[in-house]
Structure 1
Amino acid sequence: MFSAILITEDGSPRAQVTRLDEADLPDGDVRVDVEYSTLNYKDALAITGASPVVRAWPMVPGIDLAGTVAESAHPDWKEGDRVVLNGWGAGESHWGGLAQKARVNGDWLVPLPAVFGSRQAMAIGTAGYTASLCVAALLDRGVRPGEGEVLVTGATGGVGGVAIALLARAGFTVAASTGKAAEAGYLRRLGADTVVDAAGLAGPGRPLQKERWAGVVDTLGSRTLANACAQTRRDGAVAACGLAQGMDFPASVAPFILRGVSLLGIDSVSAPRARRTAAWDRLARDLDPDALDAMTEEIALGEAVAAAGRFLERRVRGRIVVDVNR
């Protein structure tokens, strides 16, 4: 038997910590003893029922997990291997990581870098791994330190915080956009050089605006993404990975055909293992452990259901790590 958060549907979703049997686990060729998971915005939507992200019932939420392989029929993994899972429909269509045990497809796993413990890996989680993909995309497009500021929107979130830390470590001048003025000191400690009021990016804007950003990591979508593109300098690039403000994109083609701006979509859910491994290698090499600690809060599994509501109220800063064994 093991403990897990289980979401059931009887008219409306209901989430609670319960005891399950290993026989209840879904199909998969690797069983993992989970040590830590995370609480993300998508997990909060699933737990609260605020958005229909769950596609199968009942569901164990948790888009991330880190732990040790307990049993494997997959050629790449053996008992005792340290592994991480991010995305792949975990917590949506396949039971996820907010449980003490998981059974998953071995193709979804990547090795846990030796420099990280499982708690640190979950302090990074999908958010940090996505941030690493964004930084890699900007560098691959040719954005380099010294060419101008790089804007990070939604800067107090998990993706934003890790993106700031990685960009600063790579030598970029970073502008952090937030609507939380009180968090300016926190963002500067992560590596931001300037803090920008998010309100200036959130409203309607002209198709082309004053050139400012050499690159952008955008976690919000909607008008913020449109304005970020309109303010990006000639031959700059925008890595788009989120939709916290909305799925719409009220923009024109002007930045792309008149300034050569590139809009780079970042798919962290279904990225191939080679890209995932490269992203984790960058995190292992470049992420300052002190910056990681500064953005991390730890809770117990039994606290996760109540904590989910904080995401919807925008009362979360950085990362929430869940110790599933307490």
Structure 2
Amino acid sequence: MKINTFKAIVVSEAHNGKFDINIVNKNFNEIEDSNIIINVKYSSLNYKDALSSQGNRGVTRKFPHTPGIDAAGVIVKSNYPDFKIGDKVLITGYDFGMNTSGGYSQYISVPKEWILKLPDNFSLRDSMIYGTAGLTAGLSVYQLIKSGITPDLGNILVTGSTGGVGSLAITILNSLGYTVTALTGKKETRDFLLKLGANEVIYREDFNINSEKPLLKEIYSGVIDTVGGETLSNAIKSTKYGGIVTCCGNVSSHKLSSSIYPFILRGVSLIGIDSVQCSTDLRKEIWNKLSKEWKNSSIENLVQEISMEELVISLKNFLFEDHTGRKIVNLDK
């Protein structure tokens, strides 16, 4: 059946300096000449998407714009022998959804190099429960394992544990037999975090005391930090000798205040995590692990599926609300 129009979320700059978010009908012939076209079935809601939808120039420079840094769908046109019509694929990272049109559109065209084939035992919906957040969580766990942090060495601390990266990191660590300490500022989410696989839950107000001390008691063999700032600083100070701390977010602060003592007296390593520009081979490795040995049925406890209409509301409110778990977008809903 020939497609004439399709739906997409479009963010436009209004005359008063504010930004409007609307569902619009776009003409299919706008992308008909592309070498590869994907019918998007699912996307997800991320912090960067919310920033883009609010006109943050650090994420998106030009408007009108269609956000969505994640997409999973089916190829409907391809001029490349390695991608065939009917192939199920996913896209995350690079400049997708930031300064190029993103996944909040029923049809998209992207460079071939950005596309990965969906792992065999993953559904399109599964892949977007993980999305960029899951890839980031997976890269963080990968660095812990690569650095020799095994389950027998002690607890792994996960900060920002109710967010997308934090909650998915808990499920991955749990599936691998690690003992997980979840750190959160939301006391009402304790049961949610335990259900995901955390072994204990601690609270930010208790964790961020004694921040002026250069070293704190050695507690954690590894840390997956998603928030930055004071929490990251105290996590580093609380890491055991030879421990690993990964860092992937700055929702608390982009600044880090720490002495060098954890690094030179305890041999702690701080490793930055970036899911945007990491290599295709590493992406494939992480996605294959997420679809197999790292997959955990508890991910269904953290997902809410929404329509495009509901997405418009979520984008408008995202930066002003607390969030727990993941929202995925069904573009046919």
TM-score tier after normalising by the smaller chain length: over 0.9
Q: Secondary structure at the match of 2:276?
A: coil
Aligned residue in 1 for 2:267 = 260
| CA 1:87–1:167: 2 relative to 1, 3 Å | same
Are the equivalent residues in 1 in contact too, given 2:162–2:325 (CA < 8 A)? yes
Aligned residue in 2 for 1:141 = 147
| CA 1:225–1:273: 2 relative to 1, 3 Å | same
Confirm or deny that 1:303 pairs with 2:316. no
Residue deviations 1:115-153 (CA, integer Å, cap 9, x gap): 221111111111111111100011111111110110000
Q: 2:251 aligns with which of 234, 244, 247?
A: 244
Gaps of 5+ in 1: none
Q: How far 1:308 sits from its partner (Å)?
A: 2.0
Aligned residue in 1 for 2:156 = 150
Matches within 5 A, 1:155-304: 155-202=161-208, 204-304=211-311
Gaps of 5+ in 2: none
Aligned residue in 1 for 2:116 = 110
Confirm or deny that 1:85 pairs with 2:91. yes
- Partner letter of residue 209 of structure 1? L
Are the equivalent residues in 2 in contact too, given 1:135–1:163 (CA < 8 A)? yes
| CA 1:132–1:305: 2 relative to 1, 3 Å | same
Q: How far 1:51 sits from its partner (Å)?
A: 6.5
Runs of 4+ in structure 1 deviating by more than 6 angstroms, as ranges, are none
Residue deviations 1:214-265 (CA, integer Å, cap 9, x gap): 0000000111111111111110001111111111111222211111111111
Aligned residues: 326
Confirm or deny that 1:5 pairs with 2:5. no
Structure 2 CA distance for aligned equivalents of residues 199 and 312 of structure 1: 22
| CA 1:182–1:27: 2 relative to 1, 3 Å | farther
Are the equivalent residues in 2 in contact too, given 1:26–1:95 (CA < 8 A)? no
Q: Which has the larger radius of gyration?
A: 2
Residue identity (%): 39
Structure 2 CA distance for aligned equivalents of residues 273 and 27 of structure 1: 26
Are the equivalent residues in 2 in contact too, given 1:69–1:83 (CA < 8 A)? yes
Q: 2:128 aligns with which of 118, 122, 127?
A: 122
| CA 1:78–1:186: 2 relative to 1, 3 Å | same
- Partner letter of residue 182 of structure 1? E
RMSD: 1.8
Aligned residue in 2 for 1:18 = 24
Structure 2 CA distance for aligned equivalents of residues 64 and 28 of structure 1: 20
Structure 2 CA distance for aligned equivalents of residues 94 and 157 of structure 1: 25
Structure 1 CA distance for aligned equivalents of residues 41 and 216 of structure 2: 48
Moved more, 190-199 or 307-316: 307-316
Q: How far 1:41 sits from its partner (Å)?
A: 1.1
- Partner letter of residue 318 of structure 2? F
Are the equivalent residues in 2 in contact too, given 1:56–1:92 (CA < 8 A)? no
Structure 1 CA distance for aligned equivalents of residues 93 and 324 of structure 2: 21
| CA 1:318–1:276: 2 relative to 1, 3 Å | same
Q: How far 1:288 sits from its partner (Å)?
A: 4.3
Aligned residue in 1 for 2:68 = 62
Moved more, 194-203 or 64-73: 194-203
Are the equivalent residues in 2 in contact too, given 1:28–1:105 (CA < 8 A)? no
Q: How far 1:196 sits from its partner (Å)?
A: 0.9
- Partner letter of residue 32 of structure 1? I
Structure 1 CA distance for aligned equivalents of residues 213 and 157 of structure 2: 18
Q: How far 1:111 sits from its partner (Å)?
A: 1.4
Confirm or deny that 1:31 pairs with 2:37. yes
